[in-house]
Amino acid sequence: MNSSQKRKGIVLFLVLSIMAAVAAFLFSVFYLSNTTYQKTEGLKDYTTAYHAAVSAVKIALKYLRQDNNGFDGKGDDWAEPIAYNYRGIFISIRINDECGKFNVNKLTLPLYYRIGKRLFEDLGKPEVVDAIKDWIDGDDIPSPFGAEKDYYESMGYRPSNRPMKSLGELLYVKGIDEKTFKKIEPYITVYGNGKVNVNSAPKKVLVALSDRMSDEAANSIIEARPIKKLEALRELPGIDQELYYEILPLITNRCNYFRITVTASYGSSTVSLVAYTTRNRILEWKVVE
C-alpha cells in the first residue's frame, strides 16, 4: 500500500471515529433528555396525586360534618365507599369509625382489662394484654406477662407510661411484632372514651364485652344494624335485661373518631393515605405503600 492510500485510510478512519463519537453524544443527549422528561412527568403526576389525596381527606370531613341523623355506622352515607373521577384524577375514599374497636388505652381500668383479656384470648394473643397495660400505666411493677423499664432499657428505650397517641407505638411493646400487629389492629384503637359503637363493632369485640354475651346475641346486634336507639337492643334475641344493663355503660351508637383511607391516581402515579380524624380536624395521617 502506497503513502496516498495510507493517508486515505487514516482519513476514513478518523471520519468514521468522529461520526461514531458524535452519534454516541447525540444518543446520550437524547437518552438523558428523555429520562429527565420522564422523571419530570412522573414527579408532576405524583404531586398531583398527592394533593388530590390530601384534598380527599377534606372531602371526607365534609361528609362527616354533614351527618346529623343521630347515629353512626352502617346506614350512614359516609359509611359507603366514595369515588370521584375529575379530569383524569381518580379518587376513592373509605371512612370507618374507630369507636367499634376496643380502646387499649383503657386497659389500666379493671373492667376494661377484663374485656381486653377476653378479646385478646379470642385473637390468640392473651399475653399481649399485660404488655400493653404495663406500657401505658404509671408504675414500674410488671404484670405476670408484661414488662416494665428494666426490660425495655436493655433495648435502648423505656415504656411511655402514658396513653398511646398512635397505634404504631404498639410495635415497641413486648411481644408485638409486625405479624401480631396486623392480627390485632382491626380490633383495637387509641381513640375515644372506651364506649364501643354497636353499629360498627366486629363480632369479636361485641362478644368480649361480657362473659354472658353469646354468639347469638352478637349476631343479632350485627343483623339489626343500624341501631338508632340503644333501647332497641333489649328486644333482640340473646339479650336479656341483665345483659342489657351490664353492657349499657360500655356501648354507644355514636362516634367522633374516624379512620379515612384514600387512594388518588393521576397519570403514572398512585398515592394512598390514611388519616385519623374527628369530624372537624385531622389527628394523624401518613402516606402508605
Residue 44: per-residue pLDDT: 86
**What's the domain count of the chain?**
2
Residue 266, number of CB atoms within 10 A of its CB: 22
All cell numbers assigned to 217: 346475641
On whether residue 72 sits in a domain, the answer given is no
One domain, residues 37 and 110 = no
Strands of 89-97's sheet in order across: 82-86, 89-97, 258-266, 269-277, 282-288
Residue 279: per-residue pLDDT: 95
On whether residue 94 sits in a domain, the answer given is no
Q: How far apart are CA 212 and CA 217, in angstroms?
A: 9
All cell numbers assigned to 62: 365534609
One domain, residues 280 and 242 = no
All cell numbers assigned to 200: 360498627
Is-contact 95 63, C-beta < 8 A?
yes
Total-model pTM: 0.83
Q: How far is CA 128 from the centre of its chain?
A: 20
On whether residue 235 sits in a domain, the answer given is yes
Phi then psi dihedrals of residue 284, to 5 deg: -160, 155
One domain, residues 118 and 243 = yes
Dihedral of alpha carbons 280, 202, 107, 253, sign: positive
One domain, residues 212 and 265 = no
- Interior angle at CA 161, CA 139 and CA 131, nearest 5: 80
Beta strands in 80-231 (DSSP E): 82-86, 89-97, 102-103, 188-189, 196-197
Q: Are strands 258-266 and 102-103 parallel, antiparallel or unpaired?
A: unpaired
One domain, residues 111 and 157 = yes
On whether residue 104 sits in a domain, the answer given is yes
One domain, residues 174 and 190 = yes
In 3D space, the residue among 116, 118, 120 whose CA is nearest the CA of residue 137 turns out to be 116
Check which CATH number belongs to the domain holding 126 and give it.
Answer: 1.10.40.60
One domain, residues 263 and 247 = no
Q: How far apart are CA 170 and CA 154, in angstroms?
A: 18
One domain, residues 231 and 274 = no
Phi then psi dihedrals of residue 211, to 5 deg: -65, -20
On whether residue 49 sits in a domain, the answer given is yes
Say whether the peptide bond before residue 226 is cis (omega within 30 degrees of 0): yes
Residue 217: per-residue pLDDT: 97
One domain, residues 244 and 271 = no
- The boundaries of the domain holding residue 40 are 3-66+257-288
One domain, residues 50 and 106 = no
* Spatial CB neighbours of 239, under 8 Å, sequence gap ≥ 6: 217, 220, 221, 233
One domain, residues 236 and 279 = no
Burial class (CB in 10 A: 0-12, 13-18, 19+), 36: exposed
Amino acid residing at 21: A
Q: Partners of 262 in the beta sheet?
A: 93, 273
On whether residue 177 sits in a domain, the answer given is yes
Q: How far is CA 268 from the centre of its chain?
A: 24
On whether residue 75 sits in a domain, the answer given is no
Q: What is the pLDDT tens value at each position of the chain, 289 positions in all?
A: 555 554 545 545 454 555 555 555 444 544 444 444 344 556 889 999 999 999 999 999 999 999 999 999 988 999 999 998 988 999 999 999 999 999 999 999 999 999 999 999 999 999 999 999 999 999 999 999 999 999 999 999 999 999 999 999 999 999 999 999 999 999 999 999 999 999 999 999 999 999 999 999 999 999 999 999 999 999 999 999 999 999 999 999 999 999 999 999 999 999 999 999 999 999 999 998 6
On whether residue 52 sits in a domain, the answer given is yes
One domain, residues 268 and 243 = no
CA dihedral of residues 163, 275, 183, 77 (deg, nearest 10): 120
